[in-house]
Chain A
Amino acid sequence: KQEVTQIPAALSVPEGENLVLNCSFTDSAIYNLQWFRQDPGKGLTSLLLIQSSQREQTSGRLNASLDKSSGRSTLYIAASQPGDSATYLCAVVQGAQKLVFGQGTRLTINP
C-alpha cells in the first residue's frame, strides 16, 4: 500500500529565504508525482507535475525534483514571499490515476 509522507509538517521562515519541502513515498512504481498548493478553505492548485521518467520540473520560482528509486521528491521555493504562505501537498499517481496524498506542509512566510 502506497504511503506518502511530508516533512516538515509546518515551516515558518522570513521573507526572501530559499526553502525546501520534502516528500517521500514507499512504492516507487508510480506514474507521476504532483505538487499542489492549498489555501485555507479553498481547493487545490496544481503547481508542478513530474512524470516518472523525469528528474525535475521548473515553474518560475519553483523547482521540483524526483528520485524514484529512493522514493523522494523535493519542492524548492526560491526567494520566498508572503503570498507563498499556504499548505503544500505532494501526491503520487498509481494505478487508475488516483492520487495518494501526503499530509502536507503548512508554510508561513513572515514579512
Chain B
Amino acid sequence: KNQVEQSPQSLIILEGKNCTLQCNYTVSPFSNLRWYKQDTGRGPVSLTIMTFSENTKSNGRYTATLDADTKQSSLHITASQLSDSASYICVVSGIGGGSYIPTFGRGTSLIVHP
C-alpha cells in the first residue's frame, strides 16, 4: 500500500529562524512529489513539485529536496515569517494503476511565534 509519512507532526519556531520538514514515502514506481501549504480555514495550495531527476528546487524562502533512492524529501524554510504558520503536506504520485492518484501525508503543523 502506498504510504507517505511526515515528521515532525508539529513544530514551533521563532520568527526569523529556519526549519526543515521531512517526508518519507513508499509510492513506487515514483512520478512526482509535491509540497502543499494549507493555511487555517483554507484548502491546500501547491508550493513546489519534484520529479525523479530533480534533487533541489527553490520557491522563494522554500527549498525542497528529493532523494529518490532513499524515498525521502525535505522542505526547508529560511528566515521564517509569521505568515509561514500553516500545515505543510507532502503528496506523492506514482505511475500506473491507481498510483497516479496522489497519496497525501498527514502534514506537519508549523507555528511561527514573534
Chains A and B come from one and the same complex: no
